[in-house]
Structure 1
Amino acid sequence: MQSEKTAFLGELTAGIAHELQNPLAFMKNFAEVSTLLVDDIAGDAPRPSRDADQEFLLAGLKQNLQEISQHGQRATTIIAGMLARSRNSSTPQALTNLNALVEEYFRLAYQGLRAKDPTFHALRTARLAPELGLVPAVAPELGRVLLNLFTNAFYAVQQRAKTDAAGYRPEVRASTQRLTANSVEIKIYDNGTGVPESVRQDIFKPFFTTKPTTEGTGLGLSLSYDIVTQCHHGTLTVDSQEGVFTEFTICLPG
């Protein structure tokens, strides 16, 4: 009965998310087109023919349209996260080179942040156990988890670097090790802003985020937790000290 309820909620969530996608796409498109029209009006009309009130109205209208487009994009991102959560992966597990997967997404996350901010640099350290061997996993799903955790780690050190520049060296570490014959561990550490103890118990809840509303949806860690615990029957935990470090630990059977 519980499985049926979960499946029903997943289908309901997916249905609602799909229905919201079209009106959101129209809203964003019309906002962007209207922004271009405002630019055309402002550019075509001779400046002496416009008084200060008209200038103010055009500037305000453009700003409002940009806000509509920005928040529409945030809603689209939330819907994409909801669809990802509602999707029941039927992909079977396959023997996976976990070290190669960690290296790949470690690199991709860093390159992604550098593409947005070319001035950003961080020390990257990988300690990957050569004896790890192949581990049963759904590589694309586990890759999403790693990408999310690495992206969050680089974001945290980037934010700390903005306010703690003197002598601070941003660092993100990744490590793997075999715990027992039937279990392996992945650790992702950063010396960034840390997670306040008061909210640490909420970090894996859907829609909870410590980022500004324009930068986070609160679905990444929730989805990561579901992939690790439900899809891979493992555990995902966090240890942190505010202003000092954060470390996520993934334990997987294998």
Structure 2
Amino acid sequence: MWAETGSELVALSELIRVTVLSWRQRGANIIGFGMGGALFCFLLFFAYDRLEGAGFLKLDQTSVHLFYIIGVCCVPIAMSLYLARTFVATQRRLTGQLLEIQRLSKQSFGQEQDRQQLLMKQKDMLAQQVAERTAQLQQSLDELRTTQDQLVQKEKMASLGELTAGIAHEIQNPLNFVNNFSEVSTELVKELEEEREKGADRDTELEAELLADLNLNLSKISHHGQRASAIVRSMLQHSRTSTGQREPTDINELADEYLRLSYHGLRAKEKSFNATMDTDFAADLPSVSVVGQDIGRVLLNLFNNAFYAVQQKYLSGAGGAGYQPSVRVQTRAVPGGVEVRVSDNGVGMNEEVAQKLFQPFFTTKPAGSGTGLGLSLSYDIITKGHGGSLRAESTEGEGATFIVMIPNAR
């Protein structure tokens, strides 16, 4: 009896506890009602004997057992209803989420379309801006090329101006010879005419001697006249735009001519300046196919820089009392071409300056004394125009050497 009553009390207390807990959960009130119904039916079933003894209730045994069966069925029925309700709620929630996802997806698709349209507009705008910038850059490039051509022409005219005094001095020498030999030839002609007027008494040996002297004078006049013509032709070629036509050229003769022109050009501006010109030209130097006026322009620029360096050292007194300005030019045949070395014992330069020598507009001369284009143009002529090389070796305070290698293009 106590065992049966104890188990019934435990079962009832568990039903009461689950029923109380179910009210705390949202939507679990169905289970609460089921538990409450089961609790009620079980209480009637277990308390029937006492209720019947007290006269409160009188039923047959089938009805009493029916309370027990109903109590047992209340819990699973309530749980089934709760699960059904939960399933419906979950389905509705998932359906709502699906609709929300579809709405967000549609909204995202619309936003993506708007973004794509915006990107297309930005792309078109960017393409238009790129085209405009490209046109502007092309215009700037054309203007830069025009300016560069103008600067090149100015540099050529500047070097032509430096040549003028040297050319005037150089051309004066053959003209003096032409004038002198012309005067002597005129006197010889007069003597010859006088000798012929003597008739039978004329001296035929003297006439032959006079004719020989006259012939020699005329050959010298022709030689120096051609020399003057060559100097004028060199000046015209230097001032003329390069045609790019390569011709076999004697580098020794070209270097000797421009060396003297550069020296006399500097002497015309500085009468007190003197320098030693030392040449070491290889006798077996082969002719190379080059654009003569371009290579002449390079050599002239190197010679001008060398004479300028020794002049600055001389004027500053850095060389001391016994300093003798000197410029040396050497040529020699190398595999595949000719090498020209232009050396001076001038001020020299440090490593930092040497690295910038061939950059456009870089110059070590005072403002207004140089454009900074001479060496850069020379470098382009040798490297790009002729496929050669131009480099410098220098020790600050002791001098510099520029080495030009000119290949013999075939």
TM class by shorter chain equals 0.5 to 0.7
1:140 to 293, 298, 303: 293
* Structure index of larger Rg: 2
Unaligned runs of 5+ in 2: 1-137, 159-239
2:269 to 116, 124, 128: 116
Q: CA deviation at 1:15?
A: 2.8
**Cα distance, 1:149 vs structure 2:** 0.4
Q: 2 CA distance for matches of 1:8 and 1:93? A: 33
Counterpart AA for 1:110: Y
Write 1 or 2 for the structure with the bigger share of strand: 1
Paired residue for 2:324, among 169, 181, 200? Answer: 169
The equivalent of 1:92 in structure 2 is 245
**For the residues of structure 1 that align with 2:157 and 2:148, how far apart are their CA atoms?**
7
In structure 2, the residue matched to 1:81 is: 155
Is the counterpart of residue 192 in structure 1 residue 356 in structure 2?
A: no
Tell me, yes or no, if structure 1 residue 130 matches structure 2 residue 130: no
The two structures have a TM-score, normalised by structure 1, of 0.68
- Indicate how the Cα distance of structure 1 residues 207 and 82 shifts in structure 2: closer, same or farther if over 3 A, else same: farther
Deviation at 1:89, TM superposition (A): 4.7
* Stretches of structure 1 lacking an aligned partner (at least 5 in a row): 1-6, 22-76
Where do residues 204-223 of structure 1 align in structure 2 (5 Å cutoff)?
204-223=358-377
In structure 2, distance between residues paired with 1:9 and 1:233: 29
| 2:144 aligned with 1:13 | yes
Residue 346 of structure 2 aligns to a residue in which SS?
Answer: coil
In structure 2, relative to structure 1, the CA distance for the partners of 1:17 and 1:240 (3 Å cut) is: closer
Q: CA deviation at 1:252?
A: 1.1
Equivalent position amino acid for 1:176 in 2: T
Structure-2 separation of matches of 1:228 and 1:8? 29
Give TM-score scaled by structure 2 length: 0.43
Matched, 1:157 2:313: no
Q: CA RMSD in A?
A: 2.7
Q: Is the 8 A contact 2:258 2:296 kept in 1?
A: yes
**CA distances 1:161-209 after superposition (whole Å, capped 9, x unpaired):** 11234111100000100012x2210000000000121221100000001
SS class of match (1:251): strand
**Are residue 234 (structure 1) and residue 388 (structure 2) matched?**
yes
Trace 1:48-63 onto structure 2 (pairs within 5 A).
none
More RCO (CA 8 Å, sep 6+):
1
Structure 1 residue 88: deviation in Å? 9.0
Compared with structure 1, are the counterparts of its residues 232 and 78 closer, same or farther at alpha carbon in structure 2 (3 Å cutoff)? Answer: closer
CA distance in 2, matches of 1:10, 1:140: 28
Q: Runs of 4 or more off by more than 2 Å in structure 1?
A: 7-18, 81-84, 87-90
